[in-house]
Copies of this chain bind each other. A is one copy, B any other.
């Protein structure tokens, strides 16, 4: 037999509204009544129906995440799982849940998002990516629906976001290489249209300039986030240029491809050329040589994204509309 608030009320000889107040531990209820009601609750094993609660409260106590097409195929990256873990860990303290949906492709993302928004099943949404002209962001802004994005958006002021300090992270990498004696450092990054590439490239340049190294255009090269592209870019680089003694990349997979090219061209890692990755994926410790990379702390990003979004939803004061999560350079055998 199903037990509802009415049944509890009946057996406790009180009104349903009283039971409801006991449930939220309202100060206006006498201790005696609370004890009596709680006893019946326990006896009957009563648990409130959260659907009914959501309807009455007009709040689903749920956040939503749409797995984007791009997030899916990069299974190499533990990012998604770790991020989710950070989110769930944080929100369960507030009795919030996480609703997940997956988009088949880029266009499908908007469907998933609008469904989540319109169905009233979530109180807020976390976007795992931001694009240059982001339709998802535009839609959410127009709908005045609470959301937070992962990654630094163009129009920073308007929306909430969490991200690493990519510029600082890449500056660290480059400066570490400089201080260990590397003289000519190349940069292989993703599309320079991406904000994340821009930021990391900037960090690379800042480090060079700070140490009065020239910034050479020919040492900066674009590659997609694949092994093949890392390989291609590295071959291109090493065929034309001499004296390169380090290559920094913006992704472990690019670095892996790069390492393959370096070996194939007869160089040794790190004796002749040092290589660094980014994102500290599962791969990094298992490559040979193991790959120096940058840990981005995805769990912490998830936690902070949830935190900022939840605060906004609960109308709490936000000190800032964003949060920067620290990175950590993990030194391994691919650098000297």
Binding site for B on A (CB under 8 A): 47-52, 54-55, 60, 62, 67, 72, 75-76, 78, 80-82, 84-85, 88-89, 92, 97-102, 104, 115, 118-121, 256, 281-283, 286-288
CB distance from A117 to the nearest CB of B (A): 8
Question: Which one of B55, B102, B120, B286 contacts A92 once the chains associate, using CB atoms below 8 Å?
Answer: B102
The CA of A204 and the CA of B48, in the complex, are separated in Å by 51
Q: Is the CB of A81 within 8 A of B88?
A: no
Give the number of copies in the complex: 2
Q: Is the CB of B119 within 8 A of A286?
A: no
- Specify the chain B residue showing the minimal Cβ separation from A3: B118
The CA of A279 and the CA of B48, in the complex, are separated in Å by 41
The CA of A120 and the CA of B121, in the complex, are separated in Å by 14
Contacts of A283 on B, CB cut-off 8 Å? 282-283, 286
- If A60-B51, A120-B50, A286-B256 touch, does A85 touch B98 (CB 8 Å cutoff)? no
Known: A50-B120, A76-B282. 20 other contacts (CB 8 A): A47-B115, A50-B121, A51-B51, A51-B54, A51-B119, A52-B55, A55-B55, A62-B99, A72-B81, A75-B78, A75-B82, A84-B100, A84-B102, A88-B101, A92-B101, A92-B102, A98-B101, A99-B99, A282-B282, A286-B286
Q: Would you mind naming 30 contact pairs between A and B with Cβ atoms under 8 Å apart? A: A47-B118, A49-B119, A49-B120, A50-B119, A51-B119, A51-B120, A51-B121, A52-B55, A67-B84, A67-B85, A67-B88, A72-B81, A72-B85, A75-B78, A75-B82, A76-B78, A76-B282, A81-B81, A84-B100, A85-B102, A88-B100, A97-B99, A97-B121, A98-B101, A100-B100, A283-B283, A283-B286, A286-B286, A286-B287, A288-B288
Contacts of A84 on B, CB cut-off 8 Å? 67, 100, 102
Contacts of A92 on B, CB cut-off 8 Å? 101-102
* A-B pairs with lowest CB-CB distance, top 9: A47-B118, A88-B102, A50-B119, A75-B78, A98-B100, A49-B120, A51-B54, A51-B55, A76-B282
Q: Is the CB of B76 within 8 A of A89?
A: no
- Specify the chain B residue showing the minimal Cβ separation from A65: B100
Question: Which one of B89, B282, B286, B287 contacts A75 once the chains associate, using CB atoms below 8 Å?
Answer: B282
Contacts of A256 on B, CB cut-off 8 Å? 286
